[in-house]
Chain A
Amino acid sequence: MAEIRRHDNRLGLWGWLGGGRWGVERYAYILHRLTGLGILLYFLIHIVVTSLRAAGIYLWVEGEFLHQPIFRFGEFLVFAAFAYHAFNGVRLVLVELGIAVGRPIEPVYPYRTSLNVQRPLLIIMMILAAAFLVAGGYDFLGLGK
């Protein structure tokens, strides 16, 4: 029998990002991945910049290149990514250890899933992250001065 051709219908990255009709946990998932990648990128740049001192270049001392406001703001973004990643990470640890998802139940329509069970935890963690962000913004962006 001749091999029948198939059309590859895998969503690829669109499967992450095509989130128009999806639930809040999926957005949390996407943001967790993006902030993780962002922090990793920052870490790599950080290594490069600090290693420049071997060549006698100190970009971070007073009055140097890295003291422009845009970098200050960039630093705040890294902090924001960290705050989100850390607090959402605590939720994920609790969820993935099966602690915050509830026990198996008899499915009765309309179904209540583990998503409903862990949702309060998500809300608490996001409030904590937001509080962290506000406090950090005060300091980083010089709002408190």
Chain B
Amino acid sequence: MPDSSTVVRQIRFHITRYNPELDRVPYVKTYAIPVREGMTVLEGLHYIKDNMDSSLAWRYSCRMGVCGSCGMLLNGHPTLACNTQILHIADRELTVGPLPNFNIIRDLVPDLTPMFDKHRSVKPFVIRADETEVNEPAGEFYQSPEELEAYLQFTYCIKCGCCMAACPTLATDVRYLGPMPLAAAQRYNVDSRDDGRRARNQVTGAAQGAFRCHYAGECSRACPKGVDPAKAIQHLKRRLVLDYLRLARRKKPCQKLHGPGEGKPLPNIPAAPGKTVPGDSFPNLPERSP
């Protein structure tokens, strides 16, 4: 097992710095820090902030690859700082920059607002005619495991923006929706509970939509969660073509099981075993105040 308590070597962090109130353009500042086995880039940034330069700014929250805040350009690759061990990508030197294709707010903090605006524009939520059923459900929708698999991969997106930073099309066309919003559109389009594909087609099939993508595949290569947005976009294009040619089968969104206990169990599933603890499940819990 590698020893994570001792310093392995010094690594020079070349970090992009930019203070909008003082600097006209970003510049690079270098910090040499002692690196231990298993140390992440995020920990390296903390070391610098704690010991060398308290003015360094970056964005992070969960420090475990879940919140999508810490996307950065590490040695030229857009990826998560918390999910990347320094010694896995650097021998002696490591460049750390903000995600490109976004404006820089300060140092390593990109302005992700345009991405979220585009995300909102594709209506990333379940759309159904029976809206009350979505907002105040009286039961569960029925969805088979196969139907779940059709979109599950695309739900793993944490909106980190790494794919947007990697996309060469987005590099020259700011108005292109980009991989994350398009993958999100596909995620809802193929959700069997959803009936909003045609509404989304207005956005995803427009001039700055899916057909701007020419499958450079960089988004899928960059994605730290294995979402494979390039795959989502190509499936999205196929549906757009079929819809345009009126060749797509019209499918009704899935129906719900009415109320708890109303679903019929499959015949080959044995009944649940009886209670092993007598009485109420949690008799000693205090009443919860509303």
Contact = CB atoms under 8 A, between A and B. Distances in A.
Interface string A74-95: 0000000000000000001001
B231 A113 contact: yes
Interface string A23-48: 10110111011000000000000000
Interface in A58-110: 92, 95-99, 101-109
Contact of A9 (B20, B100, B156): B100
A22 B170 CA distance: 16
A12 B172 CA distance: 5
Interface stretch (A13-21, A49-57, A128-136, A137-145): A13-21
A76 to B, nearest CB: 26
Contacts of B235: 98, 101, 104
A104 B152 contact: yes
B172 A101 contact: no
Nearest to A105: B153
Contact of B172 (A8, A15, A92, A107): A15
B171 A11 contact: yes
A115 B98 CA distance: 26
Interface stretch (B102-110, B115-123, B136-144): B102-110
Interface of B: 18, 20-21, 25-26, 75-77, 98-105, 110-111, 149-154, 156, 167-168, 170-172, 174, 190, 213-218, 220-221, 223, 225-228, 230-232, 234-235, 237-239, 241
Interface residues on A, range: 35 or more
A7 B103 contact: yes
A12 B168 CA distance: 8
Secondary structure of the A contact surface, majority rule: loop
A1 interface: no
B150 A9 contact: no
Given A16-B168, A107-B153, A114 B105 contact: no
A9 B98 contact: yes
B216 A107 contact: no
Contact of B217 (A20, A104, A115): A115
A20 B76 contact: yes
A29 B216 contact: yes
A104 B215 contact: no
A97 to B, nearest CB: 5
A26 B220 CA distance: 11
A28 B215 CA distance: 9
A104 B237 CA distance: 15
A22 B215 contact: no
A21 B73 CA distance: 13
Contacts of A114: 217, 220, 228, 230-231, 234
Contacts of B156: 107
A11 B167 CA distance: 10
